[in-house]
Amino acid sequence: MQRDLRIAINRDGKIEYFGVPEEKTTLLNALYYIKNNSDNSLTFSSSCRSGVCGTCAVRVNGKEVLACSYNFKEDDRIEPLAYHEVQRDLKVNKQKVRETLKKSTAWLQSHQEAIIGEKEVQLTEKQSECILCDSCYSSCPVLEVNPDFMGPFALTRAYRYSADPREGDIKATIDTIQTNGIWDCTLCGNCTEVCPQGIDPKMDITLLRSIASQFGYSDPNFQAMDFGFGGGF
Amino acid sequence: MLDILIIGSGGAGLSSALTAKESGATVLVVGKSYPTASQTSMAQGGINASLGNVTPDSTQAHIDDTIKSAHQLCDKSMVKKLCEDAPKSITWLEKLGVPFDRTPNNQVAQRQLGGASSKRACYAQDYTGLKILHTLYDNALKEGIEMIEEHFLLNLITEDQLVLGATFLDIISGEIKEIRAKTTIIATGGYAGLYKGFTTNSEGATGDGIASVLRAGGKISDMEFVQFHPTALKSSSTLISESARGEGGYLVNSKNERFVDELLPRDVVARAISLQVANGEEVFLDLRHLGEEKLLHLMPQEVRLCRLYENVDPIKELVPIKPVAHYSMGGIDVNRKLEVTGLKNCYAIGECSNAKIHGANRLGGNSLLEIISMGREAGRNAVRCTSSQQTNNSDTQQLQQDQAYIESLFEEYPWERNFYQIQYELGHKFYKYAGIVRDNTQLNNLLNELRVIKADLDNMGIGDKNRTNNTNLVEFLQFQNSLEIGEVLLDSALVRDESRGAHYKEAFPNKDDKLYKVNSLYWIEDEVLQNKLVKVVE
């Protein structure tokens, strides 16, 4: 016999419980089941149902997932993404977070003609699979202390264009990601862990740091720790 | 005053915005979701251009393949324009930074798709649409193009057929607003979403822009032509790209027999599968012989989707599939300049438009091409149009009318019938009766049923009475649009007593050029739906 599973949804700070038939495998199907049958006012965002539009990311038991790509379990606790303004229930304002893409100037600064081979494409194959679901941003502990931090996806995207042979002015990007950018990351790896596309923003940020050092930049935190002994410990 | 209002923020809308902005026009892109959430992100296989990087090819061969697949319902000059422009579109995308895959000779890689006489589709693994869309978005940010999200199109504002802008529901605040512009470009996507539960499309593919043109007195055409993609996952209807067959995948039945040439156009393959299913067979996609390395390199997304939604590993197992609604060939009727028939200062591009390119059946790889190529074309044309006919009309009648209607949904509609349930039932019935194989009695019954549902809308409405962030309201409005579109789809399918491309009737299995080498035009006059069959432009 069909059995109902119970899930808990954080609705504007209040936990509400809903029963969903077990067969509604994905969390997104479960949310639609609730909205279509028991509570029309349950509010969440979704679009493609196949993990490529980036719309339906939420937190389940504290960890970011795409609702369309996660099979829910009994007593799962569903919450909206962190560090986003919650508009209602699980629906969040992504517009403000998208501003980080402008801050990191994640685009080709100056197009130059270049020979691109299979190897060059592979360099940024993963990074260009980003779907802008904001999972990494929600998982990033730096935002707890510095809300102006550009965050993982904006930096991964900056790397994706910096590593493109068509980029004729890498320095322009490197210059813009100094403040509230690459050096603010603690390399904790939360972003890498939650990315549904298997992207590794932590590694991309590390690579950007290495490019930045070629342009004469260094870790300001490291400088701050230099108490006049010339660094070097 | 704003020069160009672009409604819809997918690949077509962004291409036209970038092109119009380049010419110095002021542009505003307005969409109901975020640009990167649009249907374009779901396009997997590739974008056609006769570059001949892998196998010999020519523009003429691309034209010939497209015309053949269109089954005489296309405007040959539009097809020629598209195919000639294709290499330029690829160059443009390359310049913007799209990371197309490469051949060992450092050229853009190309793969085989169905109905193509050469390896013609340029690709970025099986994330071609995603990577094109995100690159366009990054460039729109770079160029400072203003994009407004979460605004749902209600109606076009018109005066004597002249389009002055449109009214929108601001989903976040719940306000009804108007945005006026000298010229409007509609790029709102297709209507295959009305086959709810039996479509590869996103929730929002409800033909909003097409319905708005119909209500504004403009014309729409060829709505009976809906493409069914042969390979969607059986339990979830998730798309498995044609590139899976292009790279050598087989279709087999329960007896493990191949039953069709997998690389024929989609309409033929979908019908062959449908016939197998009617004979009690199950149908599978077999990718096992391609090997793990090739699959993971060329189709990482497909492998993930099969594992997640069908619980099978395509590297080792057969993938159960079914054909589902995938693309709408019909849409807003436009002329060769992409201007909407029956309206002025208004363009339509991409899947919402019928530019007479795909005719009765679209070729894989031509839809991404159309949104880029025709998107840019409309951007150029709209810039020229902004200097033409103007009006100082500031009448807010449309705004008031729309405000009053939305208000009534909050105050008066009783919510006695659950429209979600009706929407799912209707989706299933469309699949069964207005799907791959059609029959007049069934079409007629469904049309009557749909009209009863339309008349009963007053008993539906919304259960969520909150004014802000009301997705229940948005979904109800989308449902209404899909009913308006669905009525035309069924009527035009009834009228066309022949079989052509994606439209197939068992009782009329052949093409009838004498009677039906025509585009079927629909519009509303004096509140009544009118139609006319118009000879195809030679």
Amino acid at residue number B196: K
pLDDT per position as a tens digit, B40-69: 999 998 999 999 999 999 999 999 999 999
- Residues of chain A neighbouring B467 (CB-CB closer than 8 A): none
- Distance from the A233 Cα atom to the nearest Cα atom in chain B, whole angstroms: 41
- CA of B73: how far to CAs of B199, B355, B359, B362, B522, in Å? 24, 11, 4, 11, 16
pLDDT per position as a tens digit, B343-382: 999 999 999 999 999 999 999 999 999 999 999 999 999 9
Residue B90 DSSP SS3: helix
- Whether A233 has a pLDDT exceeding 60, the answer reads no
Element (H, E) at B169: strand B162-170
- Residues of chain A neighbouring B36 (CB-CB closer than 8 A): 53-54, 131-132
Amino acid at residue number B464: D
Asked whether this chain's domains B229-325 and B397-519 adopt the same fold, the reply is no
Contact B130 A36 (CB under 8 A): no
Q: Which residue, among A36, A39, A52, would best test binding to B if mutated, counting the most B CBs under 10 Å from its CB?
A: A52
What is the mean pLDDT of the segment spanning A81-93?
Answer: 98
Contact B106 A101 (CB under 8 A): no
Averaged confidence pLDDT in chain B:
96
C-alpha A4/C-alpha A226 separation (Å) is 60
- Distance from the B201 Cα atom to the nearest Cα atom in chain A, whole angstroms: 7
Q: For the complex shown, is ipTM > 0.85?
A: yes
Contact between A130 and B169 under an 8 Å Cβ cutoff? The reply is: no
Question: Could you say which DSSP state residue A74 is in?
Answer: T
- Distance from the A69 Cα atom to the nearest Cα atom in chain B, whole angstroms: 7
C-alpha B255/C-alpha B286 separation (Å) is 13
What is the mean pLDDT of the segment spanning A192-214?
Answer: 98
Averaged confidence pLDDT in chain A:
94
- Residues of chain B neighbouring A118 (CB-CB closer than 8 A): 101-104, 106
- Whether B451 has a pLDDT exceeding 80, the answer reads yes
Q: Which of A40, A54, A164 sits opposite B37 (nearest CB)?
A: A54
Q: Which pLDDT band, with edges at 50, 70 and 90, does A74 fall under?
A: very high
Which domains occur in chain A, in start order? 4-93 (3.10.20.30), 95-222 (1.10.1060.10)
pTM for the structure as a whole: 0.96
Partner A, chain B 210-229, Cβ-Cβ below 8 Å: none
Across the A:B interface, residue pairs with CB atoms under 8 Å apart total 141
Correct CATH for B229-325 of 3.90.700.10, 3.40.1790.10, 3.30.499.10, 1.20.1250.20 = 3.90.700.10
CA-nearest residue of chain B to A51?
Answer: B305
CA-nearest residue of chain B to A197?
Answer: B301
- Residues of chain A neighbouring B139 (CB-CB closer than 8 A): 107
Question: Could you say which DSSP state residue B168 is in?
Answer: E
Element (H, E) at B292: helix B292-298
**Catalytic site includes residue B380:** no
- Residues of chain A neighbouring B37 (CB-CB closer than 8 A): 47-48, 53-55
Sign of CA dihedral A167, A171, A173, A177: positive
- Residues of chain A neighbouring B125 (CB-CB closer than 8 A): 125, 129
What is the mean pLDDT of the segment spanning A202-222?
Answer: 95
pLDDT at position B389: 59
Residue owning tokens 């979908």: B270
Partner A, chain B 170-189, Cβ-Cβ below 8 Å: 172
Q: Which of B100, B203, B462 sits opposite A40 (nearest CB)?
A: B462
Contact A35 B138 (CB under 8 A): no
Q: Which of B102, B239, B470 sits opposite A121 (nearest CB)?
A: B102
Contact of B403 with chain A, judged by CB distance below 8 Å, is answered with no
C-alpha B151/C-alpha B106 separation (Å) is 42
C-alpha B116/C-alpha B104 separation (Å) is 22
pLDDT at position A22: 84
Contact between B166 and B46 under an 8 Å Cβ cutoff? The reply is: no
- CA of B247: how far to CAs of A116, A118, B181, B270, B291, in Å? 23, 18, 46, 18, 11
pLDDT per position as a tens digit, B92-141: 999 999 999 999 999 999 999 999 999 999 999 999 999 999 999 999 99
C-alpha B167/C-alpha B155 separation (Å) is 5
Question: Could you say which DSSP state residue B87 is in?
Answer: H
Q: Which of B42, B138, B203 sits opposite A52 (nearest CB)?
A: B42
Of residues B111, B120, B266, B362, which has the active-site annotation?
B266
Residue closest to B123 by CA, chosen among B136, B110, B137: B110
pLDDT at position A173: 97
* Residue boundaries of the structural domains of chain B: 229-325, 397-519
Q: If you count them, how many residues does chain A have?
A: 233
pLDDT at position B395: 81
Contact A121 B101 (CB under 8 A): yes
CATH 1.20.58.100 assigned to B397-519:
yes
CA B155 to chain centroid: 20
Contact B471 A45 (CB under 8 A): yes
Q: Which of B106, B131, B202 sits opposite A47 (nearest CB)?
A: B202
Distant-in-sequence contacts of B494-499, Cβ < 8 A, 24+ apart: B494/B440, B494/B443, B494/B444, B494/B447, B495/B224, B495/B520, B495/B531, B495/B533, B496/B224, B496/B520, B497/B440
- Whether B534 has a pLDDT exceeding 80, the answer reads yes
C-alpha B264/C-alpha B537 separation (Å) is 27
C-alpha A49/C-alpha B203 separation (Å) is 8
C-alpha B228/C-alpha B326 separation (Å) is 5
Within 13 Å and on the Cβ side, how many CA atoms surround B93? Answer: 36
C-alpha B477/C-alpha B457 separation (Å) is 11
Contact B471 A91 (CB under 8 A): yes
Q: Which pLDDT band, with edges at 50, 70 and 90, does B283 fall under?
A: very high
pLDDT per position as a tens digit, B252-274: 999 999 999 999 999 999 999 99
Q: Which of A44, A50, A128 sits opposite B239 (nearest CB)?
A: A50
Partner A, chain B 78-137, Cβ-Cβ below 8 Å: 94-97, 99-104, 106, 124-125, 127, 130-131, 134
Residue B350 DSSP SS3: helix
CA-nearest residue of chain A to B306?
Answer: A50
Residue closest to B9 by CA, chosen among B239, B220, B204: B204
Contact of B161 with chain A, judged by CB distance below 8 Å, is answered with no
- From first CA to last CA, the distance across chain A in angstroms is 66
- Whether B206 has a pLDDT exceeding 90, the answer reads yes
Q: Which of B97, B202, B462 sits opposite A108 (nearest CB)?
A: B97
pLDDT at position A230: 47
- Residues of chain B neighbouring A41 (CB-CB closer than 8 A): 463-466, 472
